[in-house]
Amino acid sequence: MKRIKRGWALTKKSWALLNSHRELIRFPLYGALVTIPLAIVFLGPGLYLLDQKSYGAAIPILVVGVYLLSVVGFFFAVSSYVNTSRRVSASTTVWSRFRRNTVTRTSPG
């Protein structure tokens, strides 16, 4: 029961973050908009050719399609993570830089 409570708390925090920074939803949406056409273009014909037992054409198309889908998926997942982490820690990072620069410039010697 404790895991469910932690999961629900994490879900609420995630939704609160998305509500406060609406631009963060762009990366998952862009990822879906790129992934769906790629899946249709590569996996559709690849699975059709596989069903027709044309393995020589089906396997390369499926391999290229899965590779491209993996690259696109990882790109948008990492982009989403980096932007979210920058938004969450932006105030801390800016303050710590300001404080570090102020202390080093005003300290004697």
Q: What is the DSSP string of 45-62?
A: HHHHHHHTT-HHHHHHHH
Task: Note the pLDDT of residue 3.
Answer: 87
- Range of the structural domain that residue 69 is part of: 23-106
Q: What is the pTM of this model?
A: 0.67
Task: Note the pLDDT of residue 43.
Answer: 93
In a domain, 32, yes or no: yes
In a domain, 64, yes or no: yes
Task: Note the pLDDT of residue 19.
Answer: 82
Task: Note the pLDDT of residue 100.
Answer: 59
* Cα radius of gyration rounded to whole Å, the chain: 23
Rounded Cα–Cα distance for residues 62 and 37 (Å): 14
Task: Note the pLDDT of residue 15.
Answer: 83
Task: Note the pLDDT of residue 51.
Answer: 93
Task: Note the pLDDT of residue 104.
Answer: 53
In a domain, 29, yes or no: yes
Q: Detail the DSSP E strand segments found in 2-101.
A: none
In a domain, 66, yes or no: yes
Taking 70 as the pLDDT cut, the residues of the chain under it are 90-109
